[in-house]
Structure 1
Amino acid sequence: MLETLTEIPEMDTAAEAHLFNKVTRRIVPLILACFVVAYLDRVNISFAKLQMQAQLGFSDAAYGFGASVFFVGYLLFEIPSNAIMVRTGARRWIARIMISWGIASAAMMFVRDETWFYILRFLLGALEAGFVPGVLYFYTQWFPAERRGRVNSYFFGAIALCGIIGGPISGGILKFFDGLNGMPGWQWLFLLEGLPSVLLGIVVLIVLDDRMEDAKWLTPAEKTLLASILSRDRKVDSTHSFLVALRWPVIYLFSLIYFGLCMGIYGFLFWMPQLVKSAGTSDPLIIGLITMIPYLAAMAGTVLISHSSDRTGERRWHLASCAIAAALGYLISATWPGHTVLLVLGLSISATGVIASFGIFWMFPARMLTGAAAAAGLALINSLGQFGGIVAPYMVGKVKDLLGSPSMGLYAIAVVCAITAVLIAWGLPRKIRFRDVVVARGQN
């Protein structure tokens, strides 16, 4: 088992710490804010469902299909989007993505029937395509591997932050804006939560830089140091060629693992408000406050797990443990769907496992792909993995329509998460079961 630490030359760790604190402050908070509003626009449909489903006469299966069709557009345009990003630069393309998806999200307020519901959900996915792998590629230009576990965890931790912020806000909009100027609360929800994406897209154009050479906020000495640090990353059979990457079986193994993780996250992202409502809570604001709990647990757990992974340099078993936690949480939720406390406990365990897993997972493909292959290869893995977003929401909705309870759908997701843990623990080839280099113990 290739899990030995590699020694590296001792460097000026104080200068490194100062440099990466500076880079982090400039880049990470803005990207995190972008991802918060991205997920808010992606999953605010789960709160809008509490009102719009009854008003528009949608079945649970129709809602689940609409939630899923988002990923059809996402899948079709993911790789082309990242190919364009390599040519235009991350700053312009991420800004374009945010502005266009914000407009599409706000346009959801005009939905009147299932056809337009499906069309706008598809359009929202097509316009958002490329954002996640684009950011992951962007991070490889600014952070070395030993620091990306933590940085990635901050990025994917935005999912938890979205739940903490978005739940009460969405519930409050549904409750207090309902009927204002003759509009139902769910229409206000889409309008008010779509606008921040447009505004942040403009901020991205002003603040971000595509390359360190363009960063006027870095000194020449800092640019030299950053280039030196990035050049020491140890790659495992890395390639620059997308066509070569397509022929690697491990790329499809990564996609299968990511499919399982996506099944895990979208099972609760699109259904948590309805699960809480079905357990006996009807007030939309209270539902929003209750849904904060799993995300608070996930945020705390993600920080602890990512710090442990970065401190030890160990990735595989941390990732497998996250998938096991997700399976356990879904098992609890499926067994006691009518018991609010146990349901929320199960959802908290699942949310922690799945959200914490994303930052660690993306360490693996990023170590094997560089240059254009990184942009396109990350998009390919993300695209194939996002099939989990197509399957999970529709499956839970269809099961609920047929059986009157979502439990069998939740049990199925638990099984998928357990299989994913097995693939992570024993399916990865030996040469990529690596430990990352652990640099200064006091690194920030």
Structure 2
Amino acid sequence: MDASLERATMRRVAWRLIPFICLLYFIAFIDRVNIGFAALTMNKDLGFSSSVFGFGAGVFFFGYFLFEVPSNIILDKVGARLWIARVMITWGIISGAFAFIKGETSFYVLRFLLGAAEAGFFPGIILYLSYWFPARYRAGVVSLFMAAAPISVVLGSPLSGALLEMEGVMGLHGWQWMFLIEAIPAVLLGIMVLFYMTDRPEKAKWLSDDQRAWLVAEMNGERASKQISAKHSILSGMADLRVLALALVYFGTSAGLYTLGIWAPQIIRSFGLSPMTVGFLNAVPPTVAVVAMILWARHSDRTGERTWHVVIACLVAALGLMLAGGASSVAAVIAALSLVNIGISAAKPPLWAMPTMFLSGSAAAVGIATINSIGNLGGFVGPWVIGWIKDQTGGFTGGLVFVAALLVLSAILSLVVARVGRRPDTAGAVAR
């Protein structure tokens, strides 16, 4: 009966929460990386060099870095429903304002503000999932949530390419229409969050009494089992060396992710293709990555192994970047970018299953936000370095090799974290 009740409860929770938060992340990721498609025409219209564009695209992560930890602390205190709604409504408004940028300064300011507005969304959802899903389900659940990122590229790329074709409609450029239209869903969904999202299992009226009682008892029992070994305070969440090491691992994966999101359209466009064609081709690699990520995460949950699932995925992504740098045809670059997408996407679910194995409570809120805020600075470094090197050399190869090296470093650091986790004073803290 317990097994039957568990299956029914987790199935109900998954169907209630996962599709909705996937939709939220889908919109978040489109608003975060549609700048890569805007650049196909916006850079020429506004006179932006590759260095200017790369820096502006990456400055998003400074705002993200500064406000992420405070944002996650607030979410833990006031609840996900109110805070996620605030995040989405403000980032939707700011994203729409990109239609009216006039030059470098307004571009930089709005990218910074967009990062500040969106800070806390991703780590907030990771924390939120830890309220609802026992640890044995977490990597698989995170993989379903994170599948929204590559899916947003699959569906958003053709959409963004089509919107760029609205050049001159009502006196606006195509990239202006793209920003305005793609900002609307964030505001509408932010309002919907207020009525749909439930903060904790204790408040889940959509569960039956026995399902709610089982889930509350299960999550309370999991927290109680970590009382001796897990860390709970805000300070411990920020100061734990494993948190800092995982932040550096995430730094490399973020550099790879946003290299794809921001520069992949221009890498493909360099073969002389139209924006619409670029949109469809850019959708191919993440389509493959979605399937690979879900299967890889399920294998990680089934075996209970996390470290090598991160290491192998990072090395696959690094290989893909190296191959992309030397690709001489559209088919070769799409194949290489597919490897990058698979590696980057597959690394993240097992990586995000690690922090809540040795952190709980306020420490988990802060630790997850710390990993995400520091790690996402890779989203600044990767795109900016690629833009700078492209201005110096005229090509993408040097920048792609640089990001590949960051991913190799992430793989090495993952092994270091695992080694520390096997020491007697931290045994069981990090996955095998």
> Same fold judged by TM-score > 0.5?
yes
2:286 counterpart letter in structure 1: Y
CA–CA separation in structure 1 for the residues paired with 2:409 and 2:363: 28
CA–CA separation in structure 2 for the residues paired with 1:288 and 1:14: 45
CA–CA separation in structure 2 for the residues paired with 1:153 and 1:120: 30
Q: How does 1:126-275 map to 2 (within 5 A)?
A: 126-175=116-165, 177-233=166-222, 235=226, 237-275=229-267
Q: How does 1:398-409 map to 2 (within 5 A)?
A: 398-409=388-399
Superposition deviation, residue 251 in structure 1: 1.5
1:306 counterpart letter in structure 2: A
2:394 counterpart letter in structure 1: G
Superposition deviation, residue 315 in structure 1: 1.2
CA–CA separation in structure 2 for the residues paired with 1:47 and 1:21: 37
Provide the residue aligned with 1:372 in structure 2: 362
1:219-257 CA-to-partner distances (Å, cap 9, x unmatched) read 221111102322443649311101123332111111111
* Residue of structure 2 aligned with 1:71, choices 61, 69, 75: 61
CA–CA separation in structure 1 for the residues paired with 2:412 and 2:238: 24
Taking a change above 3 Å as real, the CA distance of residues 239 and 426 of structure 1, as seen in their structure-2 partners, is: closer
Contact persistence 2:50–2:390 (CA under 8 A) = yes
1:152-186 CA-to-partner distances (Å, cap 9, x unmatched) read 001111111111110000001112x2211111100
Superposition deviation, residue 425 in structure 1: 2.6
The secondary structure found in structure 1 opposite 2:132 is coil
CA–CA separation in structure 2 for the residues paired with 1:284 and 1:150: 35
1:75-96 CA-to-partner distances (Å, cap 9, x unmatched) read 1111111122122111100011
The secondary structure found in structure 1 opposite 2:94 is helix
Superposition deviation, residue 415 in structure 1: 1.2
Superposition deviation, residue 408 in structure 1: 0.4
Superposition deviation, residue 433 in structure 1: 4.5
1:400-424 CA-to-partner distances (Å, cap 9, x unmatched) read 1110001000011111111211221
Matched, 1:321 2:334: no
CA–CA separation in structure 2 for the residues paired with 1:359 and 1:419: 18
1:226 counterpart letter in structure 2: L
The secondary structure found in structure 1 opposite 2:48 is coil
Provide the residue aligned with 2:295 in structure 1: 304
Unmatched segments (≥5 aa) in structure 1: 1-10, 436-444
2:242 counterpart letter in structure 1: V
1:224 counterpart letter in structure 2: A
Deviates more, 1:213-222 or 1:399-408: 213-222
CA–CA separation in structure 1 for the residues paired with 2:218 and 2:410: 33
Superposition deviation, residue 261 in structure 1: 1.1
Q: CA RMSD in A?
A: 1.3
Q: Percent identity?
A: 41
Contact persistence 2:319–2:339 (CA under 8 A) = yes
1:367-399 CA-to-partner distances (Å, cap 9, x unmatched) read 111111111121111111111011001000011
1:5-51 CA-to-partner distances (Å, cap 9, x unmatched) read xxxxxx72221111111101111111000000001000000000001
CA–CA separation in structure 1 for the residues paired with 2:74 and 2:48: 37
CA–CA separation in structure 1 for the residues paired with 2:322 and 2:395: 14
Contact persistence 2:28–2:186 (CA under 8 A) = yes
2:155 counterpart letter in structure 1: I
Deviates more, 1:398-407 or 1:227-236: 227-236
CA–CA separation in structure 2 for the residues paired with 1:81 and 1:370: 17
* Residue of structure 1 aligned with 2:376, choices 372, 386, 391: 386
Deviates more, 1:185-194 or 1:378-387: 378-387
2:292 counterpart letter in structure 1: G
Deviates more, 1:242-251 or 1:325-334: 242-251
Provide the residue aligned with 1:284 in structure 2: 275
The secondary structure found in structure 2 opposite 1:218 is coil
TM-score by length of 1: 0.93
Contact persistence 1:53–1:63 (CA under 8 A) = yes
Deviates more, 1:290-299 or 1:412-421: 412-421
Superposition deviation, residue 280 in structure 1: 3.0
CA–CA separation in structure 2 for the residues paired with 1:69 and 1:421: 26
Provide the residue aligned with 2:46 in structure 1: 56
Superposition deviation, residue 260 in structure 1: 1.2
Contact persistence 2:52–2:104 (CA under 8 A) = yes
1:262 counterpart letter in structure 2: S
* Residue of structure 1 aligned with 2:335, choices 341, 345, 348: 345
Contact persistence 2:58–2:380 (CA under 8 A) = yes
Taking a change above 3 Å as real, the CA distance of residues 406 and 51 of structure 1, as seen in their structure-2 partners, is: same
Matched, 1:331 2:322: yes
Contact persistence 1:155–1:359 (CA under 8 A) = no
CA–CA separation in structure 2 for the residues paired with 1:249 and 1:25: 36
Superposition deviation, residue 427 in structure 1: 4.0
Contact persistence 1:98–1:198 (CA under 8 A) = yes
Provide the residue aligned with 1:29 in structure 2: 19
Provide the residue aligned with 1:434 in structure 2: 431
CA–CA separation in structure 1 for the residues paired with 2:366 and 2:359: 9
Superposition deviation, residue 303 in structure 1: 1.4
CA–CA separation in structure 2 for the residues paired with 1:33 and 1:56: 32
Matched, 1:96 2:86: yes
1:338-377 CA-to-partner distances (Å, cap 9, x unmatched) read 4211111111111111112111101111111111111112
Contact persistence 1:240–1:372 (CA under 8 A) = yes
Taking a change above 3 Å as real, the CA distance of residues 164 and 250 of structure 1, as seen in their structure-2 partners, is: same
1:102-140 CA-to-partner distances (Å, cap 9, x unmatched) read 010001000011100001111100000000111111111
CA–CA separation in structure 1 for the residues paired with 2:128 and 2:210: 21
CA–CA separation in structure 1 for the residues paired with 2:209 and 2:383: 50
